[in-house]
Amino acid sequence: MKTIFYNKKISSILTVLPQNEYNFEDEMIYNDLSEAQNRRLARTMGYEKHRIFKEDSYISAIASFGLNHLFDGKILAKDDIAALILTTTTPDFLMPATSNLIAKAVGLNNDVFCIDTNQQCAGFVNGLFLAFMLLDANLGKKVVLITGDVITRTIPKSNTTSYPLAGDAVCITIIENETNDKPIHFYSKTDTKQADDLLFPDMGFRKLTDSEKSSLSSLKYGKNLKNFNSVFMDGQAVFEYVMQDVSNYIEETLRFAGVKKDELDYCFFHQPNKFMVDKLSQKLGVSSQKAPSNVVTYYGNSNSSTIPVCICHNAKDQMLAREHYCLVAGFGAGLAYSGAILNIGKLDYCEILISNF
C-alpha cells in the first residue's frame, strides 16, 4: 500500500523505561552456552544490558503514568485529545480494549476515540498511519499514539535467541495537524507466507496440535524450545527477510517519495539487534551516523517502541532544535514492513523518563 499525507506532524515524544536494568554478563549463568559463546554473541548482536518492567506492572498503568506526566508538565491537555491509539502485543485483558482502560485511568472524556492494535515491530509506523487518518477527521485536535509491551516476562532466561535482546518500554507520541504542505510518504508490505517465522504461538484461543508443537520444537526456532507461551523466531529466515526484502522495500519507499538517501538526515529503523540494523544500513549505503543501531545495547528490543526510543536516545537535542528529514521503518512479525518519509523536529518535548514500574 502506498499513500501520501499532508499537514501532519509529530509534536512530542515521551519514552517511559523500567527502573530495573539487567547486565548481560550477570545473566549468562541462565543459559547453557559457554562464557566464550555468550561473549561472542553479545559482541555480534550488540547487547550489553536491558530494562524490564516489574512482574506486577501492566500497560495501562505505565501508559497512564506517562500521560499524567505530560498533563502535569502542560505538554498535553486532556481536552486536546481526539483519539487514543494503543499498539501492544501484551494488553491488560482480552476485553475491554486496554486503550479504554487508559482513558478511564487518566480521566479522558467520552468523546475520545480509543482503539487497540497489535502490529508488533511495525507498530509505531502503522500507528502513525492510523493517527494521520484520524487527524483528517478531527481538525484542531491531537492524536496520542502509545506503543509498548511487557513481553519480556514471557521469555525464559535460558532462551539465547530472544531473552538477551528483549527489553520493555512504553512510548507516547503526540501527533497533530499543522498548516504545512510537506508530504508524508507511507509504504507498507505484508509477506504473510512467512508469518510463522516469528510468532507467539500459545497465547490466543487457537490450540496447538501435537504436530504444531513438534514443529515449534524443531531446530528451526533454536534449541528445542518447549515453552509455547514465548516468542518463537526463525532467526535466519528473519535476517534474510530484512536483508533481501526489507532493503528492497526501503528503496521502493525512497523511489515513491522521490528522495535520495543523501537527502535524509536520519534513518530510524526498528531495532531487532545491532548486527541486523548495521547490516541493513551497510546494504543501503547509509552511514551509522544517520542510522543509529544502539537501542538493544542500552535498553533491549521493545517491539513497537524501538523507533521512538531510538529517537529519544540518539537525537533528542537535535529534534528539539530543528526539523529533520527522516525515514522511519518498522519490520518484523507478520512478516510486515511499514515505512514513512517525513519531517520530524522542532518538537515541543522529547524525553526519556525512568519509572519505578
Q: What is the pTM of this model?
A: 0.94
The least confident of 145-154, 186-195, 230-239 is: 230-239
- What are the DSSP calls for 235-267, one per residue? HHHHHHIIIIIIHHHHHHHHHHHT--GGG-SEE
Going by the DSSP 8-state scheme, the letter that residue 326 receives in this structure is E
pLDDT digits over 233-249, tens only? 777 888 899 999 999 99
Contacts of 111 (CB under 8 A, 6+ apart): none
At 18, the pLDDT band (50, 70, 90 cuts) reads very high
CB atoms within 10 A of CB 313: 17
Question: Alpha-carbon distance 111 to 103, whole Å?
Answer: 11
- Across the chain, what does the average pLDDT equal? 92
Which residues does residue 177 pair with via DSSP β-bridges, in sequence order?
8
Contacts of 345 (CB under 8 A, 6+ apart): 318, 319, 321, 322, 323, 324
pLDDT digits over 252-301, tens only? 999 999 999 999 999 999 999 999 999 999 999 999 999 999 999 999 99
At 51, the pLDDT band (50, 70, 90 cuts) reads very high
Question: Alpha-carbon distance 33 to 211, whole Å?
Answer: 28
Query: Dihedral sign, CA of 65, 68, 69, 75?
Result: positive
C-alpha to C-alpha distances, 58 to 67, 168, 286, 296, nearest whole angstrom: 15, 11, 37, 22
Q: Are 45 and 53 in contact (CB under 8 A)?
A: no
CA 105 to chain CA centroid, Å, is 24
Furthest C-alpha separation in the chain: 58
Higher pLDDT pick, 94 / 195 = 94
C-alpha to C-alpha distances, 324 to 5, 67, 97, 339, nearest whole angstrom: 17, 26, 35, 16
pLDDT of 224 reads 56
At 215, the pLDDT band (50, 70, 90 cuts) reads confident
pLDDT of 162 reads 82
Percent of the chain with pLDDT over 70: 98
Confidence check: pLDDT of 28 > 70: yes
Q: Are 254 and 261 in contact (CB under 8 A)?
A: yes
Confidence check: pLDDT of 104 > 60: yes
At 157, the pLDDT band (50, 70, 90 cuts) reads confident
Q: Which residues of 176-199 are buried (b: 16+ CB within 10 A; e: fewer)?
A: bbeeeeebbbbbbbebeebebbbb
C-alpha to C-alpha distances, 280 to 2, 209, 291, nearest whole angstrom: 22, 37, 10
pLDDT of 25 reads 87
Q: Cell numbers for 142, please give them.
A: 491531537
Q: Which residues of 210-235 are buried (b: 16+ CB within 10 A; e: fewer)?
A: eeeeeebbeebbbeebeebebbbbbb
pLDDT of 235 reads 78
Confidence check: pLDDT of 181 > 70: yes
Which residues does residue 3 pair with via DSSP β-bridges, in sequence order?
186
Confidence check: pLDDT of 139 > 80: no
Strands 323-332 and 266-269, bridge-based pairing: parallel
Contacts of 205 (CB under 8 A, 6+ apart): none
Average pLDDT over residues 96-118: 97
Average pLDDT over residues 351-357: 97
pLDDT of 194 reads 84
The 3-state DSSP class for residue 75 equals coil
pLDDT digits over 60-88, tens only? 999 999 999 999 999 999 999 999 999 99
Q: Cell numbers 548481560 label which residue?
A: 24
At 225, the pLDDT band (50, 70, 90 cuts) reads low
